[in-house]
Amino acid sequence: ALRGGRGPCWPRSGGTRGGAAMDLFGDLRRMNKRQLYYQVLNFAMIVSSALMIWKGLIVVTGSESPIVVVLSGSMEPAFHRGDLLFLTNFHDDPIRAGEIVVFKVEGRDIPIVHRVIKVHEKGNGNIKFLTKGDNNEVDDRGLYKEGQNWLEKKDVVGRARGFLPYVGMVTIIMNDYPKFKYALLAVMGAYVLLKRES
């Protein structure tokens, strides 16, 4: 999405962090107001485009989180830590044993990716089901909220329809090392702000 141009200037003198910061501020000072407004607008357009794509995926897939990263090894060998999952969540599709679902549990912030192992379907169409990680010894009743033995459709964030292996490791690294995340965001922001049209 970014065309030509050059990125931020790297340190020319001594290679120190202070030198890099001085070069960055020097570049910003050399820009006239019109150039600066243009670069800020360009950055805002990139961010809003990403948000629009995300919202579009939510509508198309029916899932509040159409793309998630596997954070643990509980689903190995089907999925490994760092795999990127693509989800759909169409409410008309019945949940069946053997499906891999992503679900939320009350009291836990992070959704869980596990396989449905048992389904109870009542005459009125209500479905309750039990999940388990492929790599776990026991089912997930110990993960559910106290007194809860089954999940319902309302607990489901989505169902796995495809994946890309290990692509999500960047997300895991950024969560494990917040300083790396902020440094990466700062570099990306500086690149967009200081990029010149060739």
Residue 114 is a catalytic residue? yes
Residue 63 is a catalytic residue? no
Using an 8 Å Cβ cutoff, are 153 and 127 in contact?
A: yes
Question: Any residues with CB less than 8 A from the CB of 75 and at least 6 apart, and which?
Answer: 100, 113, 114, 115, 133, 134, 135
Residues in the chain, total: 198
Marked catalytic residue, from 63, 74, 83, 155: 74
Distance CA 105, CA 150 (A): 11
Marked catalytic residue, from 13, 49, 72, 114: 114
Distance CA 119, CA 106 (A): 20
Marked catalytic residue, from 49, 63, 109, 140: 140
Residues annotated catalytic, as ranges: 74, 114, 140
